[in-house]
Amino acid sequence: MPGSSRVTSPYGLPVHREGVDRLLRSYRNIPARAPVRLAKKTSNLFRARAKVDAPGLDVSGLGGVISVDPHSRTADVAGMCTYEDLVDATLPFGLAPLVVPQLKTITLGGAVTGLGIESTSFRNGLPHESVLEMDILTGGGEIVTARPDGENSDLFRGFPNSYGSLGYATRLRIELEPVKPFVALRHLRFDSLGEMQAALDRITSDRVYAGVAVDYVDGVVFSAGESYLTLGAQTDEPGPVSDYTGREIYYRSIQHASVNHPKTDRLTIRDYLWRWDTDWFWCSRAFGAQDPRIRRFWPKRLLRSSFYWKLIALDHKYAVADRIEARKGNPPRERVVQDIEVPVERTEEFVRWFLEEIPIEPIWLCPLRLRDRDSSGGAPFDAQRPWPLYPLEPKRTYVNVGFWSSVAADPDGIEGAANRLIEDKVAELDGHKSLYSDSYYSRDEFEKLYYSGGDYTALKEKYDPRSRLLDLFSKAVQRK
User: Tens digits of per-residue pLDDT, 61-71?
Assistant: 999 999 999 99
365 domain residue, yes or no: no
Alpha-carbon torsion (136, 138, 142, 147), positive or negative: negative
Residue 144 counted as domain residue: yes
User: Is residue 371 within 8 Å of 224, Cβ to Cβ?
Assistant: no
Buried-state track 304-339, b at ≥16 Cβ within 10 A, e below 16? bbbbbbeebeebeeeeebbeebeeeeeeeebbbbbb
Report the candidate in 381, 379, 375, 407 with the shortest Cα–Cα distance to residue 393.
Answer: 381
* pLDDT tens figures, 124-164: 999 999 999 999 999 999 999 999 999 999 999 999 999 99
- Domain-located, residue 434: no
Cβ neighbours around 271 below 10 Å, total: 23
The gap between the terminal CA atoms of the chain, to the nearest Å, is 49
Beta 74-78 vs 65-69: how paired, if at all? antiparallel
344 in a domain, yes or no?
Answer: no
pLDDT of residue 377: 46
pLDDT of 458 reads 94
| CA quadruple 27, 29, 34, 39: dihedral, nearest 10 | -60
3-state percent helix, strand, coil for the chain, nearest multiple of 5: 35, 20, 45
Beta-bridge partner residues of 401 = 340, 365
What are the tens digits of pLDDT across the range 213-227?
999 999 999 999 999
457 in any annotated domain:
no
Largest CA distance in the chain: 65
Q: Give the orientation angle of helix 305-318 with respect to helix 320-327, to 10 degrees.
A: 60
Query: What is the bridge-based pairing of β-strands 432-433 and 333-343?
Result: antiparallel
pTM, 2 dp: 0.93
Q: What is the dihedral of CA 368, 478, 106, 230, to 10 degrees?
A: 30
Is the predicted pLDDT of residue 411 greater than 70, yes or no? yes
Q: Is residue 325 in some structural domain?
A: no
315 — pLDDT class (breaks 50, 70, 90): confident
399 occurs within a structural domain: no
Range(s) of the domain holding residue 112: 13-178
Do 85 and 63 touch, CB atoms closer than 8 A?
A: yes
Query: Is residue 86 a part of any domain in this protein?
Result: yes
Does pLDDT of 20 surpass 90? Answer: yes
CA atoms lying within 13 Å on the CB side of residue 406:
15
What is the CATH number for 117?
3.30.465.10
Domain count, the chain: 1
